[in-house]
Structure 1
Amino acid sequence: MHRQLSNLVSIKKVLIGQMLVLAAFAGSVPSAHAGTNPADPTKVIRNAFEAADDGFDMVRTQNFYSGWVSEVIFETLLTYDYLARPAKLVTETAEAMPEISEDGKTYTFHIKKGIYFSPDLAFKGVRRELTAEDYIYTFKRVLDPKNRSPSANFIAGKIVGLDELAAQAQKTGHFNYETPIAGLQAPDRYTLKVVLNAKDYNFLNVVAYSAFGAVAHEAIDAYGQQTGQHPVGTGPYMLEKYVPRSKIILAANPEYRGFTWDFKSSGDAIDQKIIKDMQGKRMPQVGRVEISIIEENQSRWLAFQGKQIDFDKIPEVAAFSAIDGEKLKPDYAEQGIQLQRVIDAGITYTVLNMKDPVIGGYTNDKIALRRAITMAYNNKEEATLLRSGQATKLEMIIAPGVGGYDPKYRSSIDYNPALANKLLDHFGYKRGADGYRTMPDGSPLLLKYTSNQGGINQEVSELWKRGLDLIGIKTKFIVSNFADNLKAATSCELMMWGAAWNADYPEAENFLQLLYGPNAGHGNHGCYQSPAYDALYVKAMALPLGPERNQIYQQMNRQVEADTAWALNTGRIRNWLVRPWVKGFKKHPILHAEWQYIDVDKH
């Protein structure tokens, strides 16, 4: 969710440019417009990310941490209710939920008037209002071939005329943004009409995804390849300072219109306290967000204990020191810290590259090798020991709590080194004098497993090594930062990669598209291409949400197991600790950024 400034000089230029933007803006518009954002600049929230972002151009990345920040810089037509569980779509820049034609193919959105982009030199001192054309431009950017958007699969093949325009750009090397298409129309300044090729039961979830947050063409033209370091949106915050892989500071966008906190209880026990603290306040209250990149669990945990972080999830390795069952231990409860336990709407897994010359391919011997590798990994031990019981063994590709998840489903592949050894013996992967196996043709067999820095990744690698040693497979373990690994995985360059995926919207399609063949080179990080799986995917997408579609989802899971395209790891339980001066915090299953919904007492 990988553009980086090459040196400190570039960073300074961006920061100086932003200061000039504010100065230019302040002198070019009436002061009556400058104070619409109710945020208090003296109210500061301090957070830490456990891995680095990849810039903030969400058309060009699916980096989780980039998305976290981008949610408050860019605005989508729709978003999710802050308190509602399960997740419920609501409007963001749209006046109301869209009008949908009888055949389910045409969506008409009416955009709120008086929404303005944050002040920026790209607008040459003129206030820039959000219009329907900005969303048309944003949708087109996602399919512009030069952007190689990992989110292209969200709309590829769906909008009338858009794929044809992208195909023409592929041939000519130039995407003509001025070319009108029937699928994206602006009948007037504030009306957006989207016409689909076929009915899409998840389209409203798609438009709520951060890649479809409105951008202005002037800003993209001005910053080009550096757009990710200079995001310009209409959201409640804007980027004030950015030191890649170290520090992110957000300040209130002076043009943001604000809103009144008015959410209804979902029935959760914490909702009543949140409503009591927050109801009726003008939002956002927080005027500044300071984010540090701290990849090491112990360092991040010490920062929270030292009150340098206002809320964070407990690293799994520290769980036993802070919680007892589902309650905080007295040392933490006496500080007024609040504990929120949340089952992640996400999964962890290991990508197996289907194009790799060693483990890739669809012949029986290659499938047997991948199956044996998968059976050597003890994901129960990951859940109980490495994650201190704060996780569950995964059975499905679909995360718990997401539409299409079946709690009764059981994977056909389980931890079984003895059976894995028999499988390798049968297909000719013989052991050499050193005890390690060779390929059936006698050539060396060496796996390369890539992990991210920090977290429990080292422990996961050690667990993999113990299992693979049991079946006689030599493995080289490579450690790199998350942003670089994501970039390499997107190009299907990593043999094995320990990855995770959190729901972008609360339906199984969001997970199953990660293995859809046409998404290879985008979100399909293992370049899995199965005609049987792809046919099931297309069939499922044509059905309404419900039991019949869910049954096909199960067949898709079985097909992935048959080909052994992934090794499933765990679903995580997150234990969020919140300092007493933070008001209104509730972790959302889809949204990541809480800053615009919370308040902080001065302390």
Structure 2
Amino acid sequence: MKKVMVAALAAGLLAVSPVQSSTEAKVLRYAFRSDITSFDPAKVSDSYSNTLITGMFDAPVRWAYLARPYKLEPSGCELPEISADFKTLTLKVRPGLYFHDDPAFKGAKRELVAADYVYSLKRHYDPQTKSPNLYILENAGLLGLSELRQKALKNKTAFDYDTPVEGLKVLDKYTWQIKLAKPDPRFINNLANPMAAALAREVAEFYGDRVGEHPVGTAAFMLKRDEWRRSSRIVLVKNPAYRDEFYNEEAPANRPHLQAAAAKFKGRKLPMIDRLEVAIIEEPQPRWLSFLNEEADYMQEVPLEFTSVAAPNGQLAPNLAKRNIHMNRYPNPDIGFTFFNMTDPVVGGYEPAQVALRRAIGLAYDVDREIRLARKGQMVPAQGLMPPGTWGYRADLKTEMSEHSVAKAKALLDLHGFKDRDGDGWRERPDGSPLSLVRATQPTADYRVLDELMEKAMRAVGIRIAFKQAKFPENVKASRSGKLQMWNLAWVATMPDAAYHLALGYGPNAGQANHSRFDLPEFNRLYELQAVLPNGPERQQAMDAANRLAVAYMPYKVSGHRIWTDLSHPWVIGAERNIFRRDFWQYVDVDMAAKNAAER
């Protein structure tokens, strides 16, 4: 058992001495609530996989760790030159960046070059890749790439990586260019997404279908494959040949502890830790106990069941404060929602009766009760698809999305013919066939609470509902294939712009970001309009109109935006969650002397 007096001693060590210099490996441990789906940058969209991919691969650019407001900085490439019409981006790879050693290179030292980025982005267009992020590139219209993809699909042939296309060109060894079919003032933001990370062609061809198990990048960390245990444990270790990168962060003025860390670390070589150990702990209680018992050094997102224990009334609990544990609370730029599969014969469709059914389900569901019971107060109600912390979000907006009215729900159902015709207490569809819902779920405590709330809401209006359990990666796969009728999940922003979330309703994104398969021409038109406009009143008007359509047709019942609470033990120095920059651990130091003292 860890004692408060021992933790206080550790805090004292931190107060009187700098971080200890030692040959002992510096280890940071924390937990994910779900397993990764793959380590292939072109095949994933989940937060857990992308978090680790960010630490192993270089996207062209990245979000500066501590900068507020958020800004981009060089990563694998310098910041691009962007044409005045926002249709051409020219990028230059930073010379002297090398891939991790790997058998795919047959003993050669392999430098990162422009062709690697061109190849990696082309992989999204390859039908064999089944990229969940293809929509991002196709929405922007990289010239010639969609045609190349269609040719492979039509002829049932391998995708042709070697045919030159106007939209992605190598200009010289280190210089490459992107050309878009239409202006996109914010396309550069996508180049900070892990989906744009560089993967060497030799690696993809050497490992084939198993490339997602062999991450080989140019960034600061590498997978320690002999310690990787599926659904249990993932270990990354520092890349011994990593380039010279030095801490040069500017902390926000209102965060004095970060300013102190930034001053302390100024000029330090990155990364400062040697090893990252990630445990996969799906259930909340064991995850919480792993932090309390100092088996984890950092806790990202305190489980909702324990938020009132860790931070009653939003303040760090006295027992944790005595242990000098640090707390960071912030609104997450995300939405938590249940989607309705618009191609499903029961909940889908655009006919008035089908729209009424989804709206009635939304009205019957008690968002405030979810926030109180399931979210433990750690969520604010949503008014649509756009989350706080992103451009386009309006804090003053009020819509039906957050409304709860069983009476209105029943009236809508009655009006459109969803009635109990046989007197058994359950409604039938207008044609007399059974009305029965099936929502996908997961075998965890938080999903059990959400399922109970949905079941109670549906019972109140006379609608049968059942729940089908599967693990998160299995549900993701089924959802992208259009096999789920309904599912509850969250969508977290990867950039500070609400168009990332409006993409959930854009028709061509079906099977990728658009889990609902919503495809409404007017929504599509507004989404395309806002995409080419610079930030300003005209773009805001288009985004607001698209959001209103999403509320009216209800392909998504959006509950709210989560408030996250992160905790770190006192020997973890400089940790600050930047939701747009996932590999925070590259900027963190661990005082092993204080950590070891606390463990004795």
Equivalent-residue separation in structure 2 for 1:403 and 1:365 (angstroms): 34
Structural RMSD (CA): 1.5
Pairing 1:141–2:118 present = no
User: Aligned in 2, Cα 1:487/1:41: closer, same or farther, shift over 3 Å?
Assistant: farther
Deviations 1:548-580 (A, max 9, x none): 111111111111122111101121111101110
Contact 2:438 2:467 (C-alpha < 8 Å) held by counterparts: yes
Q: 1:583 to 1:512 in 2, by over 3 A?
A: same
Aligned counterpart for 1:113 among listed residues 82, 92, 95: 95
> C-alpha separation between the residues in 2 aligned to 1:526 and 1:577?
35
- Post-superposition Cα deviations, 1:319-357, rounded to whole Å, max 9, x if no partner, equal 121212222111100111000001101110111110111
Q: Deviations over 1:171-226 (max 9, x none)?
A: 23211111111222222111112122121111110111101100000000011111
State yes or no: 1:219 paired with 2:208: no
Task: Give the secondary-structure state (helix, strand or coil) at the position aligned to 1:145.
Answer: coil
Q: CA deviation at 1:50?
A: 0.5
CA contact (8 A) 2:64 2:581 kept: no
- Secondary structure of the residue aligned to 2:224 is strand
Work out which of the residue numbers 399, 410, 413 in structure 2 matches 1:411. 399
- Write the distance in 2 (CA, Å) between the matches of 1:404 and 1:527: 23
Unaligned runs of 5+ in 2: 1-20, 596-600
> SS in structure 1 opposite 2:400?
coil
1:268 is aligned, of 239, 244, 254, to 254
Alignment of 1:323-334 (within 5 A): 323-334=311-322
Q: Is the 8 A contact 1:297 1:315 kept in 2?
A: yes
Please, which of 151, 154, 157 is the counterpart of residue 171 of structure 1? 154
Partner of 1:542: 532
Counterpart in the other structure of 1:495: 485
Look up the equivalent residue of 2:207 and give its one-letter code.
Y
- Does the CA-based 8 Å contact 2:384-2:548 persist in structure 1? no
Aligned-residue offset at 1:39: 12
Pairing of 1:204-603 with structure 2 (within 5 A): 204-241=188-225, 242-269=228-255, 270-312=257-299, 313-413=301-401, 414-431=403-420, 432-454=422-444, 456-602=446-592, 603=595
Q: Distance in 1 between matches of 2:442 and 2:583?
A: 23
Indicate the residue corresponding to 1:35 in structure 2. none
Aligned partner of 2:9 in structure 1 is none
In structure 2, do the counterparts of structure 1 residues 333 and 433 end up closer, same or farther at CA, with 3 Å as the change threshold? same
Structure 2 counterpart of 1:282, one-letter code: K
1:41-190 map, 5 Å:
42-95=25-78, 97-156=79-138, 158-172=141-155, 173-190=157-174
| Cα deviation, residue 254, structure 1 | 2.1
Q: Is the 8 A contact 2:374 2:446 kept in 1?
A: yes
> How many residues matched?
565
Q: Indicate the percent of aligned positions where both proteins have the same amino acid.
A: 37
Give SS of 2:171's match. strand
Instruction: Could you tell me which runs of 5 or more consecutive residues in structure 1 were left unpaired when the two chains were aligned.
Output: 1-37
Could you tell me how far 1:40 is from its partner in structure 2?
7.0
Distance 2:459 2:80 in 1: 56
Partners of 2:440 and 2:488 within 8 A in 1: yes
CA distance in structure 2 between the aligned counterparts of 1:392 and 1:248, rounded to whole angstroms: 33
CA shift in 2, pair 1:40/1:507, >3 Å: farther
User: Aligned-pair distance for 1:104?
Assistant: 2.4
Matched residue SS, 2:503:
helix
Q: Is the 8 Å Cα contact of residues 41 and 287 (structure 1) preserved in structure 2?
A: no
Residues 488 and 397 (structure 1 numbering): CA distance in 2 closer, same or farther, change over 3 Å?
same
1:40 to 1:479, Cα distance in 2 relative to 1, 3 A: farther
Quickly say closer, same or farther: Cα 1:530–1:40, change in 2 above 3 A.
farther
Divergent runs of 4+, >4 A: 38-41
Bigger shift: 156-165 or 204-213?
A: 156-165
CA contact (8 A) 1:513 1:524 kept: yes
Relative to structure 1, is the Cα distance of residues 268 and 479 closer, same or farther in structure 2, using a 3 angstrom cutoff?
A: farther
Contact persistence 2:385–2:550 (CA under 8 A): no
In structure 2, C-alpha distance between the alignment counterparts of 1:136 and 1:86, rounded to whole Å:
30
CA distance, structure 2, for counterparts of residue 303 and residue 131 of structure 1: 42
Q: Secondary structure at the match of 1:250?
A: strand
Per-residue deviation, residues 47-97 of structure 1 (Å, max 9, x unmatched)? 1001111011121121211111100011111100100123211111223x2
Shift of 1:546: 1.9
Aligned equivalents of 2:95 and 2:210: distance in 1? 29
**With structure 1 as the length reference, what TM-score do the two structures score?**
0.91
1:34 maps to which residue? none
Give the secondary-structure state (helix, strand or coil) at the position aligned to 2:128: helix
TM-superposition CA deviations, 1:20-57 (whole Å, max 9, x none): xxxxxxxxxxxxxxxxxx99771111110011110111
Whole-angstrom distance in 2 between the partners of 1:212 and 1:154: 11
* Between 555-564 and 133-142, the greater mean CA deviation after superposition: 555-564
CA distance in 2 between partners of 1:101 and 1:360 (Å): 42
Q: Does the CA-based 8 Å contact 1:55-1:228 persist in structure 2?
A: yes
| Structure 2 counterpart SS, 1:325 | helix
Alpha-carbon distance in 2 for matches of 1:263, 1:348: 32
